Structure 1
């Protein structure tokens, strides 16, 4: 076994990475994993191979793999989320590529951190949208918030996905490879019509300067710029707009089941997190301190 080095440090250019096992990449692609997941699994499994470079991967025991994960936790301090991703990459090889049963592999998983999502108030969202002068940028922020989109869903929108007659947006190939419909605000329809006349997108609703899809990095920069201009002190990402959309729906009385469908959550427990950040009922509770003289 080789000593674990920090996986965030880039390899020297002359170092050749180990070749992934036969079938690993092909199967990821056949099962239509996202490009992001393919990159993560490939990177983490490559590091796993490097650690066990002197071993036959097919003969490695569960105890050895557990020790590897523990060493990553103790020496590098990987997060619970990264720990799960690394376990999933390893499990993919043994269970999917080699076809072994799940009973063969049983690595202890960390308890998922139950962090509350960052949510903006309606006032803060309105401030972000109004302070954004660029028409395309305003449309991007408005579409994410008003339809509760993931960043990847936004950049994959095509012009034909906008159904202004039924006031719906069609989301295709979303997380979990499931298609769905989400809300299309009347105000967004008017804004998109203005945007379409000005930019004339051909295929993708939001295209880059040289055509093609808009980049996820550019979306993040738009949000960051708007947050700075608005003077909002919270750590805000594009996904915070999706969280805010869901929370505001819940606060105005929308049934949790409908919110689940709109967001495309497979597990209702994922949607229930918004009950912990919605403040419509909580704000009505009076603190006993306010009764003191």
Structure 2
């Protein structure tokens, strides 16, 4: 169905003009849009220049937040800080709320309804093919924000979440992990990657480590204030402890265990990702491996070696056992013992 759309000023008002050869189906669809009109003089249909209509007709969105929305974001940010949410969570939620409020930039916040949330999901999230996890973050932001608003038409308990995707974690074989860890000739780079795999660390947990968090006498690492603001301990193998001692003698870190180019400052997330990328190239591994794959591999390899799922849950810092149970679906220990009927043909 061929059509073109552009913004125009018609009778002093910003409108969106839609041009196409006569088509009864498209005309019927346009008539369902609020305030859509036919211009006999211009010989085209035109409708209000809103975010929703720009999205409908693939016109770049150039909108700014209203003063009300700016104030709302400031208050939301202040409230999140007072609740002691992490900086990364605050950014995620404020960015999510900003996207939502921009979509309804021409509508007072007090007039936003549950139906508007559904429209946002359909006309923004789904049209842009954004993930269900991103949609879930937006839902979290909307729910948290409207809890702080006194006058609203939103019924928080009726805001639905997207159906959870059942994706399996990506896991590497032990040979692949070994190839990645041995690929780097740089002692610091090798130690960081080895520590992530050997202890099942998140990227942020590794970069937040300080020398005092390594307890060589008890053979443990103390992870302070990790995800969910929880402390936990993970075992430190003799092999990784030996590597850490060699690293410590060579680099003598001050504040953080792994420091960046400026002494005393933490190693950056972006640089750590580059370290992995270089290791993958040297190991000739073409899979789209991320740092989190090493954590997934650690958990799966523990399970395959017979470690109880409850212990793995504690080591990974999972709140729910259901989160940890996902590794039972990627463990090949039991599956490999199943004989295919094809072999008996």
TM-score (norm: length of structure 1): 0.91
Deviation string 1:185-205 (CA, Å, 9 cap, x unpaired) is: 111100010100110000111
2-side partners of 1:256 and 1:183: how far apart? Answer: 16
Counterpart of 1:49 in structure 2 is 101
Match of 1:23 in 2: 75
- The aligned counterpart of 1:286 is 339
Kindly name which structure, 1 or 2, has the bigger radius of gyration based on alpha carbons: 2
1:207 is paired with a residue whose SS is coil
Secondary structure at the residue paired with 1:190?
helix
Which of 143, 162, 183 lines up with 1:110 in the alignment? Answer: 162
Structure-1 separation of matches of 2:75 and 2:151: 11
Q: How big is the alpha-carbon RMSD for the aligned residues of Structure 1 and Structure 2?
A: 2.5
Alignment partner of 1:180: what SS?
strand
Q: CA deviation at 1:52?
A: 1.9
Contact 2:214 2:220 in 1 (8 A): yes
The residue aligned with 2:325 is 272
The superposition leaves residues 75-119 of structure 1 with CA deviations (integer Å, 9 ceiling, x where unpaired) of 32221111111111111110246598x954422221111111111
Structure 2: give runs of 5+ residues left out of the alignment: 1-49
In structure 2, the CA distance between the partners of 1:20 and 1:135, relative to structure 1 (3 Å rule), is: farther
Match of 2:25 in 1: none
Kindly indicate whether the alpha-carbon contact (under 8 Å) linking 1:20 and 1:42 is maintained by their aligned counterparts in 2: no
Question: Hey, what does 2:239 align to over in structure 1?
Answer: 187
Q: Select the residue among 216, 219, 226 that pairs with 1:174.
A: 226
**Partner residue of 1:161?**
213
Q: Tell me the CA shift for residue 20 of structure 1.
A: 4.5
Name the CA shift for 1:160/1:99 in 2 (closer, same or farther; >3 Å): farther
Structure 1 residues without counterparts, runs of 5 or longer: none
Say whether the 8 Å CA contact 1:24–1:97 is kept in structure 2. no
Structure with greater contact order relative to length (CA < 8 Å, sep ≥ 6): 1
Q: Corresponding residue for 1:2?
A: 51
Scaled by the length of structure 2, the TM-score of the pair is 0.78
* Inter-partner Cα distance in structure 2 for 1:144 and 1:246: 11
The runs of at least 4 consecutive aligned structure 1 residues that moved more than 6 Å come to 14-17
For residue 172 of structure 1, give the secondary structure of its aligned residue in structure 2.
Answer: strand
Q: What is the deviation of 1:43? A: 1.6
**1:164-223 CA deviation, whole Å, 9 max, x = no partner?**
111110011111111100121111100010100110000111000113111111111111
Cα distance in 2 for partners of 1:136, 1:198 equals 9
The alignment status of 1:202 with 2:254, answered yes or no, reads yes
* Alignment partner, residue 151 of structure 1: 203
8 Å contact kept, 2:55–2:61: no
